[in-house]
Amino acid sequence: MPSGFDALTGLLDRATFRRKLGALEVGGAVIVLDVDRFVRVEEALGTAGGDRLLATLAERLKSVAPPGSDLGRIGDDDFGLLLQAPAHDAVLVAEDMRLALTEPLEIDGYELVPGMTAGVAVLEDGDPADVLLGRATAALARARKTGRRMGVAGPRPIAGGTSDLALECALRGAMDRGEIELVWQPIAAMPSLELVGFEALMRWTHPTWGAVSPARFIPIAEETGLIVALGAWAAEVASERVVAWSRLDPDGTPPFVTVNVSSRQVFAPGFVEGFRALARRPGVRAGSLVIELTESTVVDEPERAARTLTQLKNDGFRLAIDDFGTGHSSLGQLHRFPFDILKVDRSFVAAMCASQQARTVISSTIQLAHALGLDVVAEGVETVDELARLGALQCDKAQGFYLSRPLPDADAQRVLRSGGGRLLRPARRLVAA
């Protein structure tokens, strides 16, 4: 390989690419392309597998790069393209290149659908050319954070172990194969312990691995963008339950249903519209659907989050902040968002019997939430002691194994039907755990 070129791919090496970048004229552009989840490929297939992927991608990039452009390998799994001014629309070129890469390929038994995220920057008058790479890279990082897709895909059976890559491949088709379900965890009012709502929780049962914990597959779904489709499906099923359950007792107050949404969903296009469409369905009352978000969703991009949440709120949905106390937000920031419900994280509930400090945190959280007009739900209530202490602190609602585990559909219905109204006698379990 002559000097100035990358040995693996035959593209310009980083130093040469940067030299050429320095000579770019106004209107010229740089496109940075970063392989999605490359670390995961290397983790599963080793550096040899990773190199093979990179070499293949480089070949594909060469075949679609516009004539006169310069293509380089500018990082381990980063490619760069220089477009001289202003013959090409850089955004269209970037999109073409990204799409050209997504043809599936097989490496060591994994069927990969390679994905790349692109960042584009155009040189403007007065800018030194060497800031362009940083800008394109920053644009790429932002794009990725707000849900640009693609990656490594199956589905195909994969022998041995459940690496994240194997999980990711299997998860891709799991919904279509009917492996994903929702279970429903009752939420009870205090102190009556009347059943007032359910939280929808996702379950994945893989044909050979069995139950895969949400703690394992939800982050992968978020990373890959699969959560957008999974979450939309969950919201739809939840809205169907709202309607079905309200028919069980037409004169009573129907139970509300809460659905969890990830930040990846909130900032994906069509999020608000999706919920609006659900609210327009016959029998659905927006107020019976509660949207649960974690603190990190609102903390990372507060202005954008506040705008989106306000739209949902104006449509009549109720909003809950989930796992409160685990993130970075403080009580003082709560008023900036239109939440209706605050869910105290179960780590505080678990600590409250042993720790005066945990009791103080919960107590002041409840007081401030009430001052702001929020309802407080304690999560993860496992003992009658916890329940009693939470009652003494004026906590409004409780959810946890002491009251009931998450229930399959049929059991949730049975609980709703039992006892006429949904009132349960104090201190009696809703359902034996």
For ligand C2E, the binding residues (CB under 6 A) are 185, 201-202, 213-215, 218, 227, 231, 234, 260-262, 292, 322-323, 346, 379-382, 400-401, 406
Q: Of 69 and 185, which has the nearer Cβ to Mg ion?
A: 185
How many whole angstroms separate alpha carbon 63 and alpha carbon 166?
Answer: 30
Alpha helices in 65-199 (DSSP H): 90-100, 132-145, 164-174
Q: Of 36 and 292, which has the nearer Cβ to Mg ion?
A: 292
DSSP per position, 235-269? HHHHHHHHHHHHHHSTTSPPPEEEEE--HHHHTST
Phi (first) and psi of residue 414, to 5 degrees: -60, -45
Q: Return the range that interacts with Mg ion (CB under 5 A); candidates 281-289, 316-324, 348-356, 416-424.
A: 316-324
Q: How far is the CB of 315 from ligand C2E (least distance, A)?
A: 20
* Site for Mg ion contains 292 (CB under 5 A): yes
Which is nearest to 260 in space by CA: 210, 334, 199? Answer: 199
Q: Of 42 and 396, which has the nearer Cβ to ligand C2E?
A: 396
Q: Per-residue x/- marks for Mg ion, 232-261, CB under 5 A?
A: ----------------------------x-
Size of the site for Mg ion (CB under 5 A): 5
Q: How far is the CB of 227 from ligand C2E (least distance, A)?
A: 6
Helix, strand, or coil (residue 121): strand
* Site for Mg ion contains 164 (CB under 5 A): no
Q: Of 10 and 214, which has the nearer Cβ to ligand C2E?
A: 214
Q: What is the DSSP letter of 207?
A: T
Q: Are 184 and 412 in contact (CB under 8 A)?
A: yes
How many whole angstroms separate alpha carbon 348 and alpha carbon 361?
Answer: 8
The item of Mg ion, ligand C2E, none sharing an interface with residue 202, based on CB under 5 to 8 Å by kind, is: ligand C2E
Q: How far is the CB of 204 from ligand C2E (least distance, A)?
A: 10
Find the helix packing angle between 271-279 and 302-314, rounded to 10°. Answer: 10
Choose which of 323, 375, 386, 396 interacts with Mg ion (CB under 5 A).
323
* Site for Mg ion contains 294 (CB under 5 A): no
Q: How far is the CB of 305 from ligand C2E (least distance, A)?
A: 15
* Site for Mg ion contains 322 (CB under 5 A): yes
Other C-beta atoms lying within 10 Å of the C-beta of residue 236: 14
| Amino acid letter for position 359 | R
| Amino acid letter for position 134 | G
Q: Of 114 and 231, which has the nearer Cβ to ligand C2E?
A: 231
The item of ligand C2E, Mg ion, none sharing an interface with residue 8, based on CB under 5 to 8 Å by kind, is: none
The two three-digit tokens of residue 78, written as one number: 């980063």
Q: Can you give the three-state secondary structure of 69-101, one letter per residue?
A: CEEEEEECCEEEEEECCCCCCHHHHHHHHHHHC
User: Beta partners for 433?
Assistant: none
The item of Mg ion, ligand C2E, none sharing an interface with residue 340, based on CB under 5 to 8 Å by kind, is: none
Which is nearest to 184 in space by CA: 413, 418, 427, 428? Answer: 413
Q: Of 33 and 237, which has the nearer Cβ to ligand C2E?
A: 237
Q: How far is the CB of 149 from ligand C2E (least distance, A)?
A: 17
Q: Of 80 and 325, which has the nearer Cβ to ligand C2E?
A: 325
Q: Per-residue x/- marks for Mg ion, 258-277, CB under 5 A?
A: --x-----------------
Q: Per-residue x/- marks for Mg ion, 369-398, CB under 5 A?
A: ----------x-------------------
The item of Mg ion, ligand C2E, none sharing an interface with residue 406, based on CB under 5 to 8 Å by kind, is: ligand C2E
Helix, strand, or coil (residue 401): coil
Which is nearest to 366 in space by CA: 383, 391, 336? Answer: 391
Q: Of 78 and 199, which has the nearer Cβ to ligand C2E?
A: 199
How many whole angstroms separate alpha carbon 302 and alpha carbon 307?
Answer: 9
What residues line the site for Mg ion (CB under 5 A)?
A: 260, 292, 322-323, 379
